[in-house]
Structure formats: C-alpha cells, structure tokens
C-alpha cells in the first residue's frame, strides 16, 4: 500500500487577514502547521498556538509537493503585495488551494480560481467567476454572472450585483454596493460604503 504524506498548510503573513484565514481553515476542521512572516525576530514565536516557521526565504527550501500555501496578506487598499507574493510562490511551484469557509455558500456553477478565499458567510451565486488569489471577505455577496479578476479584494459586507465585473487587483471597500453589470478596471478602488453606478477605469479611485 502506498502511504502519502499529509500536506502541511502554511499561512503567509501573520496580520489581521492571516487570522481570518486561520479561522476559515478551522471552520473546515483543518489547522495550519505554520506561519511565514517577513520579520526574522518573530521566527520561532507562536500566534494562536501556531509557530512562525520562517521568513519568506524559507519558501525556497520547502517541498512544493508536501506544502499547501494560503495567503494571509490583507489589502487595506492596495492588492499589489498580495499579488506579488502569490505569483512568486506559484513560480516556485507551490499550490494555493481555494479556501471556502464552512459557513460560506458557493453555487456549484461558480468557478473558483487557485488560492481564492470565500470567507465567513460570504455568498457566491451561479455562474460567477472568481479569479486566482481573489478574496471575497466576510458576508460579501457576489451575485450571478459576476466576474472577479485575479488578486481582487472584496471587503466585508460588499455586494456585487448580477453581472458586475472587477478587474485584476481591484479593491472594493467594506459595505460598498456595485450595481448590475458595472465594470471596475484593474487595480481600481471603490471606497467603503460607496454605491457605484458607473464604470470605473483602470487604476481609478472613487470615494464618494
Ligand atoms: C478610500 C480609502 C482607501 C481612503 O483613501 P484616502 O485616499 O486615504 O482618502 P482619505 O482618507 O485621505 O480621504 C479623502 C477624502 O475622502 C473621504 N473618504 C474617504 N473614505 C471615504 C468613504 N469610505 N466614504 C466617504 N468618504 C470617504 C474622506 O473623508 C476625505 O474627505 P475630505 O477630503 O473632505 O476630508 C478608505 O477610506 C476606504 O474606504 N478604505 C476601505 C477600507 C475597507 O473597506 N477595508 C476592508 C478590509 S477588511
């Protein structure tokens, strides 16, 4: 009989978003075997009982076959750090599984990219497409036929109405409402609480 080694779940980062990722894993009855943090002085310490096993340089030494990565890098407004780390790790050969919190609801006809995160009580409705490494944060709603680009970050409680499109790396703040069919460009930003009625071009920011 072939014995396959259990894979280790590692979380990149130790900030607020990383803790939410740990909670999503726990909701599925899984745990993390380590954190990776850029600060050398933190290596060997523990957060929530899980050890910080190394800085980013440890990624070059780990086995891509027995390690699964989860990005714990948040995006207060800028998704670039998250995107860079994800692409760097994928180039090394690491796998980022899609993470769906136990309380989230995802339609069977939705398509989920590698490493996307559908967090506590979020809803993803039929035929929505969620890109690689995109985050659908706590209680956000992605309606039918929405297309969410890679590394996009959707804040808690935001609502994307049917057919809305979000470009790669775009950011939608907490509680924002994106009306049906609206297109948001790459790396554009919608402030928390906004109702967006018009398309937003690449790299543009709208706060009111
Ligand atoms: C838009 C945002 C990124 C701030 O951008 P900023 O360029 O730093 O803007 P500032 O804070 O300097 O504010 C600029 C102006 O916009 C206003 N403003 C900022 N955010 C706003 C918002 N969400 N709604 C309404 N007005 C807002 C400010 O009051 C300020 O107005 P003033 O010029 O009349 O004083 C931030 O307010 C925001 O919405 N972040 C999203 C946070 C979030 O949802 N995180 C989820 C992570 S889990």
Cβ–Cβ contacts within 10 Å for residue 43, how many?
15
Other C-beta atoms lying within 10 Å of the C-beta of residue 85: 21
Q: Where are the domains of the chain?
A: 8-96
Q: What CATH number has the domain spanning 8-96?
A: 3.40.50.20
Q: Indicate which residue's Cα is closest to atom 8 of ligand 1.
A: 77
CA distance 155 to 140: 7
pLDDT in tens, the chain (208 residues): 566 568 999 999 999 999 999 999 999 999 999 999 999 999 999 999 999 999 999 999 999 999 999 999 999 889 999 999 999 999 999 999 999 999 999 999 999 999 999 999 999 999 999 999 999 999 999 999 999 999 999 999 999 999 999 999 999 999 999 999 999 999 999 999 999 999 999 999 999 8
pTM of the model: 0.95
- C-beta 9 within 6 A of ligand 1: no
CB atoms within 10 A of CB 27: 16
Ligand 1 closest atom vs CA 174: 44
């Amino acid at each position: 009989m072939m014995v396959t080694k259990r894979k280790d779940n590692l979380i990149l980062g130790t900030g607020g978003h990383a803790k939410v990722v740990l909670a999503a894993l726990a909701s599925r009855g899984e745990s993390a075997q380590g954190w990776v943090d850029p600060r050398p002085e933190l290596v060997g310490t523990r957060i929530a009982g899980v050890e910080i096993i190394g800085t980013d340089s440890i990624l070059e030494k780990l086995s891509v076959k027995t390690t699964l990565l989860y990005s714990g890098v948040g995006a207060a407004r800028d998704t670039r750090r998250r995107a860079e780390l994800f692409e760097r790790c994928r180039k090394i050969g690491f796998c980022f599984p899609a993470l769906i919190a136990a309380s989230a609801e995802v339609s069977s006809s939705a398509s989920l990219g590698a490493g996307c995160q559908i967090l506590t009580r979020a809803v993803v409705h039929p035929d929505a497409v969620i890109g690689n490494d995109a985050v659908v944060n706590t209680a956000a709603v992605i309606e039918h036929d929405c297309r969410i680009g890679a590394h996009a970050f959707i804040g808690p409680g935001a609502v994307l109405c049917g057919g809305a499109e979000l470009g790669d790396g775009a950011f939608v703040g907490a509680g924002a409402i994106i009306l049906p069919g609206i297109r948001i460009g790459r790396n554009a930003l919608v402030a928390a609480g906004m109702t967006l009625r018009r398309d937003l071009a690449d790299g543009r920011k709208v706060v009111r």
